[in-house]
Amino acid sequence: MQKLNFHEIERKWQKTWEESQVYNAEVDFTKEKFFVTFPFPYMSGSVHIGTAYTLTRLDVISRFKRHMGYNVLFPFAWHWTGVTIAGVSDRIKRRDQQTIKILRDIDGVPEEIIYKFEDPFFMARYFTENNREAIKKLGIGIDWRREFHTTSDDQCYSKYVEWQYFKLKEGGYIKRGKHPVVWCPRCKSVTGDHDRLSGEGVFPIIFNLVKYKLKDSDAFLVAATLRPETIFGITNVWLNPNADYVEAKVNGEKWIVSKSCVEKLKDQLRDVEVISSFNGSLLLGKYVLTPLTGKEVPILPASFVDPDLATGVVYSVPAHAPYDYMALVDLKKNKEVLKKFNLDSSIVDGLQPISLIKTERFGINPSEVIVKELGIQNQNDPNLERATSEVYREEFLHGVLLENTGEFKGLLVKDAKVKVAEVLKEKGLADEMLELPTPVICRCGTRTYVKILPDQYLLDYSNKEWKEKAKRCLSKMRIFPEEARINFEWFIDWYDDWAFVRTSGLGTKLPWDDKYLIETLSDSTIYMAYYIISKFVNQGYLKSSNLTLEFFDYVILGKGNPKDVARRSNIEESLLESIRKEFDYWYPVDLRNSGKDLIANHLTFYIFHHVAIFPEDKWPKGIAVNGFMKLGGQPMHKSKGIFVSIKDAIKKYGADVVRLTCLISADGLDDPDWNDEVVNSAFQNLNNIYESFLMLSGAKVSENDTELDLWLSSKVREHIKTAITSLNEVAIRKAAVEIFFNFRNTLKRYVRRRQELTLTPTLKKALNAWVVMMAPFTPHFAEELWRILGNNSLVVKERWPREEDFIENKLANLKEDYLDSLLSDIQNVKKIMKEKPSKIKIFVASEQKREIARFVALKFAEGKRDNEIIKEVMVAFKDRTSSISYKDLPKSVLRLVEKIRSMGFDTFMNALDKITEDEFLISSSNFLKKDLELEEVKIIKEDSKEAAPYEKAKLSEPLRPSFILE
């Protein structure tokens, strides 16, 4: 059988679509519009299969809406802003071999091109051109006339961003003030979520700094903690013996902290003067005094202490901190470490965990319990992170402080945490600093920290009125899946002031203070409106000089006199009116689709900025989010080589195989997985469908339908209904399963059931409907099938099949369901037979059993209980039973009730009244013979003389025949 050349047909149909401009959308007031957008990708590398997953999902919806008669606009653009691109460029300048290796081996960039990436704009253009080609090859239905990119390299887009920030300033949404930010010391700039190589979604949190007075000194060893309530369980203080520490005056007080902490303290507006520097090992074996209790505890070595986290000093509470517990266990086992630092073993031998918190799950020794549970062996075991998280969570939610905590005994941990910190600060025994709980690496490769900027430009996301407007917008939006709505609500409430300018990277300058650039998340919040304008820019009707503030005010907000605006913007009034008309027609965005990670930033900002600038009728109408594509069960990670680009996937498998693999992988917030099994399944499925079409197209044409076509019509109607419902809910996988598997199974059964296959009118109509339904998912493949069926139009422009195109015939459905149920019973028996049968006798229930069944069903409909129905049947049929033993009636009634319950009363009665079982089975006997691979099929009525010798005949029930295989 002929195999399909996916690459060949994809090239053919992409060329045809481009020539016919099928995806170029223009204003058409006779049609309802549907405007979809996708978050533009960063141009620092190749777009990957995860992008394909989200992008194809949106493409399915846009194509579906076009089939449903909507005028659909799906534009696309590219994100060049921030330090994402500049960071890679900087690493190329530094000849970073890991970066060069990734670009060469994973992105496939020729080595002679890589060094040209020292120019960030060259790199951005290179990847834009390559990724545009990849997305076109994926078959995404985009209006490319509206394409643009961000940064000052696109002066027209920069003019739009400048207008946006003038409007935000004018509306009172921008302020200046002191604000903590994530800071890159190399770039000397703020590092936002999308400026990060790793650590996206990590924000500064407050660490308590507990002061431990060094014995016989006026200096304090300052330990950072998130759990100040645990100071009552301290056994020692940990230092990293391989790290450098300093003694410094901090606001006049002598502190001992890690060397890397000094700049952090300075950048958090403290007065810091370094007195001396030394290796951490110098303090080992010395003692400190614990605050509140005044107990002496030793300073000991621990390799797990990160000198770059907060102060680089950790106080040890082994009973309640698994890391501390294992470090103490390791130290007691490894006397060589003690000898290395000239420490007497007696210092650690007497140290025992001190319990101070009790929970139901862990008791009073959580570290010991969870270390055993997880089989943790030493302080370098990665499971310690999990252990720490579980203990901390359990104690925070359910922990109660014990007697040895003094005035805090009996308090819940969540309350004690606050009160202990307050008491320590009141007594001058503690301070605080902001820190990142896990490392955040800038795109330039530098580890960042928290800096307080004294005079920072801020978006006032803490503004309560702004939050309320955002919530009002959200309440009117459709969110897919609905379960994601709570995440939006949480982030709208959570966001505080946001630093939106940077001093490095690429971007648009802040119009009233051009030493700053607008950062990557903040110049990409309302660009969807610019798609309307960009078409006129790309076609040469507009230049940057025409894009005045008044121009944007009129086009987007409808403000101003068109004649005056046109004159000031130096354009024709008719052109201005045309652009305004187009904006008013297309806006707002009907659906924006993204990965679920962007709820935490971009998508929430998208809502905030729209409600700040746009009138309410132009606020976003819908957002869909989905999970992250994994690769063989692992998160994609370029540096680890766990990465598949769209370009490479298409080259290997073809676009429609890639699309279908993505689209059948997952729904909602579930994470899909790209693996060989799923890809090969999609490939095989499409080839099988193609072979079926070749076979069916060669069948003899019939002008008349068969009785089975009534069933086919009903089933196709069901598939259409399910697919429409699923797609309207953005349940893409569910729709794909319905179309590519369930619909196919219907046709396979139809072909199997037909004695002689002919291309009937209903079958041809069903095949046409099926191809149109496949088109949003596998458009190139669908175009090819469409031609096989003899059609000359483009399937991507065809109307979606309607339910009313196919007549529902309930009786046909009942008959075929009845037959399938019987076949299933027979096949189950065949499987356990030792010898292959050649004959079957099928016994159809007697008329009296049908009468009893009808009686039972009516009583069931009256709401009678099972035992009541049994009693009434026993009375009504006393001395009347002939085909069933009177004593067997109760069991028979219960089986009938169960069947009625599972089928539903109406369906059961319709089947009972309208299916003449023996006649239907006789008419189907040739099919049964062929399908069951038998030589003889006999249909026998239970109350006939022919059935008398067979005890098995008595087991027949209405709508469930009994049978004997021989």
Tokens for 493?
């409430």
pLDDT for residue 60 is more than 60:
yes
- Of 2-6, 409-413, 443-447, 531-535, give the lowest mean pLDDT range: 2-6
pLDDT of residue 374: 95
Residue 638 DSSP class: G
Quick check: 390 pLDDT over 60? Answer: yes
Distance CA(869)–CA(883), nearest Å, equals 19
Q: Lowest-pLDDT range, 159-173, 183-197, 262-276, 471-485? A: 183-197
* C-alpha span between 102 and 108 (Å, rounded): 8
The neighbour count for residue 496, using CB atoms within 10 Å, is 12
Dihedral of the alpha carbons of 486, 490, 492, 494, in degrees to the nearest 10: 180
Between 540 and 380, where is the model more confident? 540
pLDDT tops 90 at residue 336: no
Q: What's the mean pLDDT in 840-855?
A: 91
Fold observed for domain 6-164+520-631: Rossmann fold (3.40.50)
> Within 13 Å and on the Cβ side, how many CA atoms surround 692?
22
- The per-residue pLDDT for range 206-220, each reduced to its tens digit, is 999 999 999 999 999
Phi, psi of 50, rounded to the nearest 5 degrees:
-65, -40
Q: Is 506 left (phi over 0), alpha (psi -120 to 50) or beta?
A: beta
- pLDDT tens profile 722-742: 999 999 999 999 999 999 999
Q: Give the pLDDT of residue 881.
A: 64
Which pLDDT value is given to residue 83?
85
Nearest to 316 by CA among 299, 339, 331: 299
Classify 443 in phi/psi space as left (phi over 0), alpha (psi -120 to 50) or beta.
alpha
Choose among 112, 22, 8: nearest CA to 72.
22
- Across 450-476, average pLDDT: 96
Q: Which CATH architecture has domain 670-811?
A: Orthogonal Bundle (1.10)
> Count of alpha carbons within 13 Å of 258, Cβ hemisphere only?
21
- Give 611 or 678, the one with higher predicted confidence: 611
Distance CA 612, CA 829 (A): 69
Where in the chain are all domains bearing CATH 3.40.50.620?
6-164+520-631
What is the signed CA dihedral for 5, 7, 13, 17, rounded to 10 degrees?
A: 170
330-353 burial, b if ≥16 CB within 10 A, otherwise e?
Answer: bbeeeeebbeeeebeeebbeebeb
The H or E element that residue 236 is part of is strand 236-239
Q: What is the DSSP string of 184-217?
A: ETTTTEE--GGGEEE-TT---EEEEEEEEEETTS
**What is the band of 883 on the pLDDT scale with cuts at 50, 70, 90?**
low
Does this model's pTM top 0.75? My answer is yes
pLDDT tens, position by position, 159-172? 999 999 999 999 99
pLDDT mean over 132-148? 98
Task: Decide the pairing of beta strands 758-759 and 700-701.
Answer: parallel
Parallel/antiparallel/unpaired status of strands 630-631 and 244-250: unpaired
Question: For 580-630, what is each residue's pLDDT tens digit?
Answer: 999 999 999 999 999 999 999 999 999 999 999 999 999 999 999 999 999
CA–CA distance, 601 with 475 (Å, rounded to integer) = 18
Distance CA(738)–CA(180), nearest Å, equals 51
| Tokens linked to 494 | 């959570």
Residue 2 has pLDDT above 70, yes or no: no
Token pair, residue 777, equals 């998912």
Task: Please give the Cα distance from 396 to 412 (Å, whole number).
Answer: 8
Angle at 45 between CA 202 and CA 677, to 5 degrees: 90
For residue 566, which phi and psi values (nearest 5 degrees)? -60, -40
pLDDT given for residue 82 in this prediction: 87
Q: How far apart are CA 542 and CA 571, in angstroms?
A: 8
Q: Is 793 helix (H, G, I), strand (E, B) or coil?
A: coil
Which residues, in sequence order, are CB contacts of 792 under 8 Å at separation 6+? Answer: none
Q: Report in angstroms the alpha-carbon separations of 406 from 229, 402, 413.
A: 11, 9, 14
Average pLDDT of every residue of the chain: 94
The answer to whether residues 125 and 510 touch, using CB atoms and an 8 Å cutoff, is no
Over range 638-651, report the average pLDDT.
92
Mean pLDDT, range 695-713, rounded to an integer: 91
Closest CA to 223 of 237, 202, 240: 237
Q: Kindly state the percentage of the chain with pLDDT values over 70.
A: 99
C-beta neighbour count of 145 within 10 angstroms: 16
pLDDT of residue 734: 98
> Over the stretch 775-784, which tens digit does the pLDDT of each residue have?
999 999 999 9
> How many CB atoms are closer than 10 A to CB 790?
9
For the chain, the C-alpha Rg in angstroms (whole number) is 36
Beta bridge partners of 42: 79
Type of residue at 388: T
Whether the predicted pLDDT of 118 surpasses 60: yes
Which single residue is written with the structure tokens 């308590």?
208
Looking at the chain, the whole-number percentage of residues with pLDDT higher than 90 is: 81
Q: What is the CATH number of domain 205-353+416-434?
A: 3.90.740.10
Residue 599 pLDDT: 96
Dihedral of CA atoms 579, 584, 590, 593 in degrees, nearest 10, equals 30
Question: Which residues touch 531 (CB under 8 Å, ≥6 apart)?
Answer: 37, 73, 75, 77, 146, 586
**pLDDT one-digit tens code per residue, 468-505:** 999 999 999 999 999 999 999 999 999 999 999 998 88
Which helix (DSSP H) or strand (DSSP E) does residue 164 occupy?
A: helix 155-170
Burial class (CB in 10 A: 0-12, 13-18, 19+), 926: exposed
